[in-house]
Structure 1
Amino acid sequence: MEVTIKITIQELIADILTDIEEFNLSAKNALERAFRNVVEEDRERYRGLVHSYIFEILKWRKRIDFALNSVLKGTKIEKLNPFLANLLRIAVYDIRFKGTPPAIATDSVIRVVKKRFNIKTAKFANAILRSVEEFNEENALKKLKEKDRIEYLSVKFSHPRWYVEYAMELLGYEGAIRLMMSNNRPQRYYVRVNPLKTDIDSLRDYLEEHDVRVARTPLDDVLKVLEYQKPLTRLKWYKEGYFVIQDLASAYVAHVLSPENGERILDMAAAPGSKTFHVAHLMENTGEIIAIDYSRDRLEKMREKMALLGVKNVKLIHADGQIFKWKHEFDKIVLDAPCSSSGTYRQFPDVKWSFDEEKIAKVIQVQKAMLKNAYKNLRKGGEMTYSTCSIRIDEDEENVKYALNKVGFELVPYEFTWGERGFTEIGDKVFRAFTHLHDCNSFFIAKLRKS
């Protein structure tokens, strides 16, 4: 006998937000987990709505919490029961960002509080939301600006304080503001053609026939999506692997690597596989690509995607890129290193709140270990792309300098056809993209050679 337990949208959203927080899940994984046992009809019906709530609440979480903490007495939103805190965040988002009538937003949440807690907690939550309704955010932000300008910007644009300080030092005040504003805009989608199944002109015609308006980009195999009527993932050609959704800057990595047919390639942190499959496509399924990743689950998803895309020259191996050693040296290596993901806030707003300086310092040590191991796996004269989706110099230019001075690499003078150059004394030899300048993820690429 099948038992169906009905829950409200507010409960589902609060459960997902709580899972993200308590189990350190990505928003994408938490959504997948929540909808795994939902019948297909309801999945199609509600997933888009729930996805929108999750991503928007995570995007604006610091500003939402600012309103709640301004009216809470004797405690902070971070000290409340996580599920209760997330219910309050849902209501505040509805009231202050979606323009939902306060009575409706409050009532829908209070019903859940009564169901999951008790009358006393419901009265507490109701009082908080009444206070939020009357809260004058403009005046509160004005006072905060006079007291602490960095914290004011952090709240207003809902970014971590460290990020505000870092972006201002990197790009100046105006540049930092433009970057944060761009991070808060809706995600920009790009699609890359699968040349094993079609060509870019045919893909463009197909998309436009299905009400997807696109434009050319600096990359001849990538299109920029300007408008669409229904999600790209519902299109037949997506389901059959004629194209993939891949960020523009991410897709540049394989072009900079410039793989040739028949070469032996190593991808040291392969999942979810976009760059691996791009390299395979550029090599026309020739040669051999060894794709390793630390996550078995992500490798299994790559295996499914490989079959869909018709990729046949990739071997998947569960391994740690810091210590992996293959029986042969490689002609080329892709090292898209694990990083702070500080360049992907528009695409993945949940990562805003996943990193602090201590965690970033640990990630940098992993990056350096992977650079040293890449050198061991590369043949003499072999080339490597080192990339991150981070804005930080210590993950980017400083790591390249480490690779040059401590590991033994040399910089390849590659002629980047778009984007910006970087920082420090090697800045003119590396690539950077910024969300506010290039309408894609902020990104870093350097091309290195084993001398």
Structure 2
Amino acid sequence: MDNNINGRTLAFNALLRVLEDEAYSNIAFDTMISRSEANPREVGLAAAIFYGVLERKLTLDYIISKFSKTPIKKIEPKALIILYMGIYQIIYMDRIPDSAAVNESVKLCKKQKLFSASGFINGVLRSVSRSGMPELPSKNKAQYLSIKYSFPKEIIALWQKSYGEEITEKLLESQSGRPPLCARVNTIKTNTDELIKLLTDKGISVEKSKLIENAVLIENSGSLTRLAEFKKGLFHIEDISSQLCCEVLAPKKGDRVLDVCAAPGGKSVTMAEMMQNDGMILACDLYPQRLKLIEENAKKASINIIRTKLADAQNQDYGQKFQRVLCDVPCSGFGIIRRKPELRYKSVTGLDTLPDLQYLILCNAARFVADGGTLVYSTCTLNPNENGKNAERFLKEHNDFKPYDIKLDNIIRGIDEPDNQLTLFPHTNGTDGFFISAFVRK
């Protein structure tokens, strides 16, 4: 790859990986950055265009339909990506002159040898520049919300049914723009104040979390994986919601802990730090390559109490009882859409079968909770069928467990729910969307 790559080309290459090859946005973009030596300004431009296009894809489709005689499905895929990028710059990036957005798009088109499409792209972008954002359809509320916030109607309908109109609109509003990165301070190697000083000395914006100890919010950092502090394991990236999940489980020094769906290992490492690297954590996953991620992250953090095990969480026999069991199950991921905007466009098929799979994993994990031990069930989604309904079903069918009340300082509860359940929303606590429920064996 060209080391002098500019931001628009970087964004184009990453978008091609996501929209054509279905790569995850964070992996595709980080890979593009690591392979280039683009300066921070170009990386910042690339990130703004890349994530902006993914966040606004349905809106951009609507705009194209108003200005192009050619149906979207008949536009050459690479030309369509360039069109997305150009329209996004014109409509949403005030600091970029429309003329620059048009001219750079045509240049990019020619660079990609899309000579026959350059005139078409030039014409559409100039029309958008003259007319601006077209009026949204106001007669159909579902279509209006879908186009305004670039969300599929199916997810909007699910949230409206689950949480009501007001919360749904706040949720939709919270999904635009890049959220701050959250990091967990490795208290085995450093402390929060020392880490903040090290990062601020490098010009990185860092502040303590108001919701939890030993957590910081990071902005304007560029690629964190390049930092010496990251490579030395002084911190790892983990949203506040996941850290709160570990706080609810509350592992203590000397405990035996089971993490049944552990990869890539962020929660396991956080819990080991909470335990002062004293005790035992059995971190499990279904795939060998994901176990390697856990081992690498533990090694970097200088954690030696994490053991890994290849396991199918639906029916695995873990061979012993544990004081703390974390059951963070595979889910639809609707709570992390603001970090992985491409998830909003994935097919919602399979939502009906996910809760049963999750429940099987929860029931199997419960078999290995010691008397008086704590069991935590969690997801990174906002869908009651995967969350509260599974938690309620578990208590009804397991009389040897009782609810364990979740008490966390500074946390705003966004909806009414049992005391042993907590749904976190981006618009209430600034976290990812997340669900936590807790139980204790009698």
Q: Which category of TM-score, normalised to the shorter sequence, fits these structures?
A: 0.7 to 0.9
Question: In the TM superposition, what is the alpha-carbon distance from 1:230 to its structure 2 partner?
Answer: 6.3
Matched residues in 2 for 1:70 and 1:295: separation? 46
Matched residues in 1 for 2:197 and 2:424: separation? 28
Matched residues in 2 for 1:26 and 1:400: separation? 30
**Offset from partner CA, 1:51-79 (integer Å, 9 cap, x none):** 3322121112222221112223352x245
**Offset from partner CA, 1:307-340 (integer Å, 9 cap, x none):** 2211111122343322332232333211122222
User: Could you list the runs of 5+ residues in structure 1 that have no partner in the other structure?
Assistant: none
| Aligned counterpart, 1:86 | 81
Change over 3 Å in CA distance of 1:285–1:204 after alignment to 2: same
Q: Do the aligned residues in 1 keep the contact of 2:210 with 2:410 (CA within 8 Å)?
A: no
| Aligned counterpart, 1:219 | 212
| Aligned counterpart, 2:394 | 403
**Offset from partner CA, 1:418-442 (integer Å, 9 cap, x none):** 4344767x53331122111111212
Question: In the TM superposition, what is the alpha-carbon distance from 1:354 to its structure 2 partner?
Answer: 2.4
Determine whether 1:367 maps to 2:358.
yes
Change over 3 Å in CA distance of 1:239–1:4 after alignment to 2: closer
Question: In the TM superposition, what is the alpha-carbon distance from 1:127 to its structure 2 partner?
Answer: 2.9
Question: In the alignment, residue 362 of structure 2 is paired with which amino acid?
Answer: L
Q: Do the aligned residues in 2 keep the contact of 1:264 with 1:330 (CA within 8 Å)?
A: yes
Q: Do the aligned residues in 2 keep the contact of 1:343 with 1:391 (CA within 8 Å)?
A: yes
Question: In the alignment, residue 309 of structure 1 is paired with which amino acid?
Answer: A
| Aligned counterpart, 1:183 | 175
Percent of aligned positions with the same letter in both sequences?
26
Determine whether 1:327 maps to 2:319.
yes
Q: Do the aligned residues in 2 keep the contact of 1:188 with 1:439 (CA within 8 Å)?
A: no
Question: In the alignment, residue 22 of structure 1 is paired with which amino acid?
Answer: E
Question: In the TM superposition, what is the alpha-carbon distance from 1:206 to its structure 2 partner?
Answer: 4.3
**Offset from partner CA, 1:328-356 (integer Å, 9 cap, x none):** 23332111222222222332222222242
**Offset from partner CA, 1:274-316 (integer Å, 9 cap, x none):** 2110111111212221112234444333322222211111122
Question: In the TM superposition, what is the alpha-carbon distance from 1:407 to its structure 2 partner?
Answer: 5.3
| Aligned counterpart, 2:12 | 14
Matched residues in 2 for 1:348 and 1:386: separation? 23
Of the three residues 93, 96, 101, the one matched with 1:105 is 101
Question: In the alignment, residue 217 of structure 1 is paired with which amino acid?
Answer: K
Matched residues in 2 for 1:169 and 1:5: separation? 49
Change over 3 Å in CA distance of 1:118–1:58 after alignment to 2: closer
Question: In the TM superposition, what is the alpha-carbon distance from 1:42 to its structure 2 partner?
Answer: 3.8
Matched residues in 2 for 1:296 and 1:44: separation? 36
Matched residues in 1 for 2:188 and 2:231: separation? 15
Of the three residues 122, 137, 156, the one matched with 2:148 is 156
Give me the TM-score of the superposition, normalised by structure 2. 0.88
Map 1:385-424 → 2, pairs under 5 A: 385-406=376-397, 409-421=401-413
Matched residues in 1 for 2:329 and 2:347: separation? 16
Matched residues in 2 for 1:26 and 1:320: separation? 24
Change over 3 Å in CA distance of 1:92–1:170 after alignment to 2: same
Give me the TM-score of the superposition, normalised by structure 1. 0.86
Change over 3 Å in CA distance of 1:45–1:390 after alignment to 2: same
Q: Do the aligned residues in 2 keep the contact of 1:59 with 1:158 (CA within 8 Å)?
A: yes
Q: Do the aligned residues in 2 keep the contact of 1:422 with 1:429 (CA within 8 Å)?
A: no
| Aligned counterpart, 1:429 | 420
Matched residues in 2 for 1:103 and 1:4: separation? 26
**Offset from partner CA, 1:170-195 (integer Å, 9 cap, x none):** 44433322222222143123332211
| Aligned counterpart, 1:50 | 46
Matched residues in 1 for 2:419 and 2:199: separation? 37
Map 1:194-233 → 2, pairs under 5 A: 194-207=186-199, 212-225=205-218
Question: In the TM superposition, what is the alpha-carbon distance from 1:50 to its structure 2 partner?
Answer: 2.6
User: Could you list the runs of 5+ residues in structure 2 that have no partner in the other structure?
Assistant: none
| Aligned counterpart, 1:61 | 57
SS of structure 2 residue aligned to 1:137: coil
Matched residues in 1 for 2:350 and 2:421: separation? 25
Question: In the alignment, residue 50 of structure 1 is paired with which amino acid?
Answer: A
Matched residues in 1 for 2:39 and 2:3: separation? 15
Question: In the TM superposition, what is the alpha-carbon distance from 1:5 to its structure 2 partner?
Answer: 9.6
Determine whether 1:192 maps to 2:187.
no
Question: In the TM superposition, what is the alpha-carbon distance from 1:107 to its structure 2 partner?
Answer: 2.8
| Aligned counterpart, 2:271 | 279
Of the three residues 77, 91, 102, the one matched with 1:96 is 91
| Aligned counterpart, 2:25 | 27
Question: In the alignment, residue 442 of structure 1 is paired with which amino acid?
Answer: G
Change over 3 Å in CA distance of 1:315–1:5 after alignment to 2: same
Q: Do the aligned residues in 2 keep the contact of 1:419 with 1:432 (CA within 8 Å)?
A: no
Which is helix-richer, 1 or 2?
A: 1
Matched residues in 2 for 1:385 and 1:117: separation? 54
Determine whether 1:384 maps to 2:375.
yes
Of the three residues 254, 259, 267, the one matched with 1:267 is 259
Matched residues in 1 for 2:179 and 2:131: separation? 30
Q: Do the aligned residues in 1 keep the contact of 2:242 with 2:267 (CA within 8 Å)?
A: yes
Matched residues in 1 for 2:302 and 2:127: separation? 57
Question: In the TM superposition, what is the alpha-carbon distance from 1:412 to its structure 2 partner?
Answer: 1.6
Equivalent residue pairs, number? 439
Change over 3 Å in CA distance of 1:205–1:44 after alignment to 2: closer
